[in-house]
Amino acid sequence: MSDIVLGDVEVTRVEEMHGPVGMTPDVFFPGSPKEEWAEHQSLLVPDFLDADTDICAIAVQTWVLRSEGKTILIDTGVGNHKERPYAPFWGHLELDFLGNLERAGVRPDDVDIVINTHLHVDHVGWNTRLEGQYWVPTFRNATYLMPRADFEYWNPANNPRIAGGVNQNVFEDSIAPVHAAGQVMLWESSYLIDSDLYLQSAPGHTPGSSVLMLDSGTDRAVFAGDLLHSPFQIMQPEHNSCFCEDADAARITRRDILGRAADNNALILPAHFAGHGGLEIERAAGSFRITRWAPLDRL
């Protein structure tokens, strides 16, 4: 099963890729002690950690929402044919993501709204596709919602540090062409999508990082973007990934969003969880505990 119905909203998981990410826990989550990983190993192996190689695993996926007659995508993966000198494992891909999307019943022209939870390389890739030698918007009829803080931060004209990092070329090939086509709406703080869905700023991982809150009927969910990269961070929320731009803010935001999810029985659906893709949690001795996995087939 790759669908869940939450209130009036239908949620479908569409995979771009999943598997080992090439990093051991101490590299992916700097400073996280081996003993803590050992303590939680039974929860993490095999979907999130390979026991033999000690390499972490993730998925790159898009959450498709159908709400109030609209088709909404949350994050657009890595994309095909992109030049990624500092993330070579994500360069020049030729994956059938659009085929996966079509098999989920979504053609590119059907998409009404694209949400980029933040503007990292692996969340904006399918914003565009290569047509001849030009990058053009993949979703011609969509409004792309982007956090203004990330739009400004990841523009190399504002931040020369982008060159030489994993986001090199990303603004030019996956963001600027959509903006030039007049399809970008920049938002700050919060943004109401419809009566069941709203975006909320959740800074730390990046300055503009955001989450999408779903509140429909008796169901609640939070699409948590990159606030979490492994269920390890549910039990040990103090540990950031190596890609968090502001370590202190990322920790505060993670605890805040996890606390709200625990108190509201919200299903947490991060961007990168392989396995069942999401989970429910409860508070436990200053931290959190997993109570239930999402009812989705394992990747």
The span from the CA of 12 to the CA of 2, in Å, is 6
As measured in angstroms, the least distance from the Cβ of 28 to Zn ion is 12
Closest CA to 82 of 36, 143, 112, 125: 125
Query: Residues 15, 16, 47, 122: which binds Zn ion (CB under 5 A)?
Result: 122
Q: Are strands 184-187 and 143-147 parallel, antiparallel or unpaired?
A: parallel
- DSSP H helices, the chain, are 25-28, 34-39, 41-44, 97-103, 148-153, 170, 176-180, 232-235, 247-263
As measured in angstroms, the least distance from the Cβ of 209 to Zn ion is 10
| Cβ nearer to Zn ion, comparing 119 with 178 | 119
Site for Zn ion in 241-280 (CB under 5 A): none
Give Cα separations from 226 to 117, 122, 123, 135 (angstroms): 8, 10, 9, 26
Candidate ranges 40-48, 94-102, 118-126, 203-211; the one touching Zn ion (CB under 5 A) = 118-126
As measured in angstroms, the least distance from the Cβ of 107 to Zn ion is 25
Query: What tokens does 144 get?
Result: 């792309």
As measured in angstroms, the least distance from the Cβ of 185 to Zn ion is 21
Residue 82: alpha-carbon gap to chain centroid: 19
| Cβ nearer to Zn ion, comparing 122 with 219 | 122
| Cβ nearer to Zn ion, comparing 47 with 226 | 226
| Cβ nearer to Zn ion, comparing 87 with 221 | 87
Query: What tokens does 266 get?
Result: 């919200």
Query: What tokens does 172 get?
Result: 């030019």
Query: Residues 226, 241, 257, 281: which binds Zn ion (CB under 5 A)?
Result: 226
As measured in angstroms, the least distance from the Cβ of 88 to Zn ion is 17
Between 37 and 56, how does the x/- string for binding to Zn ion read (CB under 5 A)? --------------------
Site for Zn ion in 179-208 (CB under 5 A): none
| Cβ nearer to Zn ion, comparing 150 with 226 | 226
Closest CA to 83 of 44, 135, 33: 135
| Cβ nearer to Zn ion, comparing 16 with 122 | 122
The span from the CA of 244 to the CA of 228, in Å, is 10
Interface positions with Zn ion (CB under 5 A): 122, 226
